[in-house]
Amino acid sequence: MSLKSYLFSGFLFLLFFSIISCQPPGEVQEQPSLTLPERPNILWLVTEDMGPYIPSFGDSTIMTPNLSWLADEGVRYPHLFSPSGVCAPSRAAIATGMYPSSIGANHMRTTSYTDVTGLPSYEAVPPSEVRMFSQLMREGGYYCTNNLKQDYQFQAPVTAWDENGPYAHWRNRENDQPFFSIFNFTTTHESGLFEPYGFRNNELRHYHAGDTSYHQAQWNAKTEESETPVHVSKELDFPIPPYLPDNEVTRRDMWKLYNNIAEMDRQVGAILDQLREDGLLENTIIFFYADHGGPLPRQKRLIYDSGLNAPMIIRFPNKQLAGTIDDQLVSFIDFAPTVLTLAGQPLPSYLQGQSFLSEDVEERKYIHAAADRFDGFTDAIRAVRDKQYKYIRNYRTDQGYYLPIVYRERIPTMQELLRLRDEGQLNDIQAQWFREEKPAEELFDCVNDPHELVNLADNPDYEEKLKELRMEMDRWIAAIGDQPNLPEAQLISQLWSGADEKPVTADPVIDLSGGELEITCTTKGASLGYQIITNDSNRQNWRIYQGPLELPAGTRIKVKAHRIGFVPSETIEFEVSD
């Protein structure tokens, strides 16, 4: 089918798709008006690699009863976008409230693929004042837990979480202590499409909260397909995006995609049940969202909406604003200021986002995104999008969009695309991704062309919109200090201040004077954590040092310093003397 024929024959399909993607059924809520507890609990339910493939966002292919319940009692956000089409840079933005390309977190897998890139292992290095926002929540008295995934493009300091691991749970906090708890669901990850098909056993951890007898060796295994629950009929008429071949291979991957979503919905339900059992539902703000767009070829890693647009639902206590839609543009960098504001915490000046739940904050007009290195292959692309149009700037025009990423090529549909490409059997739409060159600029109407197939950059009717978004991109790049297409070796040199090796956090210095114990570190921006040594130290949380301590004689402590992006210090032990 030619592109021209596609535009005519597929117009109604595209129009319908744009309607269900951008405007799911419900009342549009322009500005939130909420009455919340002074220090509400905040629960994040985070899935991976998932676009808006659920009924509450217009896709009725399968039923997701728990997410549909959440949407019925909450607010849907159809215009949430990640700053990258892949997880680690996006999670860096969430953790710090800063754009990945402003802190050296934009290249996917900075600590691996060194044999391919020839580069040393390195981490993102934010400015010295930057803290993971979970640490700021802890400093404000919240009990903060992360179960299980991290993947921030840097090692989290021990001060970031009260609990960080497979058994992390709000149930271990002090009585009546407010909590911020994250549960990450990996079933919907891209690897869930690999063959042989089966669910990861590690998802059982969500049903064993507090039960540490479930042995870690079982987590990396996958169930056999014959033992994997089938939630979704293989006979359904699965929607196939026009850029993928409509054949049995793709349909099997689509079945796996939806079956994985259904399993994830079941796991979400288990956490919601625990919240109800604990009597915490009506003083907890519940967020559900995906860490970026979908897992399929031409989705994940790209900065089309298929790679950036993620569904989000928020349920507020007592079903406030239930069943409504908030269609404002939201970026992942808005999460940190939003949650800090909900918790009554002051906002650090370095944050690059804004609270999207504050009535006195002007709604954002644009979202921004970037694509750089993915595993062993590098590109340089930047994007800016308003409610309808997206502008893309390609810095490597002599390089095609498609990158031969080995991990992605384990997806059967990706293998099928390559087979059909080599046999010359792709149609014009499917072949677009495999063009050998890219235009310097692209402009897409994301409402009427939701798959971003028709470049309007050279169309004189859109000249003013092109200029507007071009200027906005220039402004954003300058504002955050982005350096598109900077060789990665030069980036590392900048992050390391010209040194040849990763910087190391200085060991903490402990001083006991006048009955008070003080801890300092000469590394600017280092967070200081300490732990009281007891017979059960392995189950103790690292505490954040915020000022002099008064400890009884004979108390033994461990102390550690860590600036984000640096090698952490050695752990120093100290015993308080008389």
Residues with a known catalytic role: 87
Residues near 176 by beta carbon (within 8 Å), at least 6 away in sequence:
none
Least Cα distance to 11 among 427, 449, 388 occurs for 449
Amino acid at 229: P
* Residue 421 neighbours by CB distance under 10 Å: 15
Q: Which two tokens stand for residue 555?
A: 């108390």
Question: H helices within 437-550, ranges in order?
Answer: 463-480, 488-495
What's the helix, strand, coil split of the chain in %, to 5? 30, 20, 50
Decide the pairing of beta strands 143-147 and 179-185.
Answer: parallel
Q: Which two tokens stand for residue 488?
A: 């990665």
Q: Return the residue matching tokens 């994007």.
A: 383
Q: How far apart are CA 494 and CA 11, in angstroms?
A: 49
Cα torsion angle, 93, 96, 97, 101, sign: negative
* Contacts of the segment 420-423: beta carbons below 8 A, 24+ positions apart: 420/245
Q: Return the residue matching tokens 């990850």.
A: 189
Q: What is residue 551's DSSP assignment?
A: -
Q: How far apart are CA 481 and CA 103, in angstroms?
A: 9
Residue 373, phi then psi, degrees to nearest 5: -80, 140
Q: What is residue 361's DSSP assignment?
A: S
Q: Return the residue matching tokens 């680690």.
A: 88
CA angle at residue 237 from 227 to 1, to 5 degrees? 125
Decide the pairing of beta strands 27-28 and 41-47.
Answer: unpaired
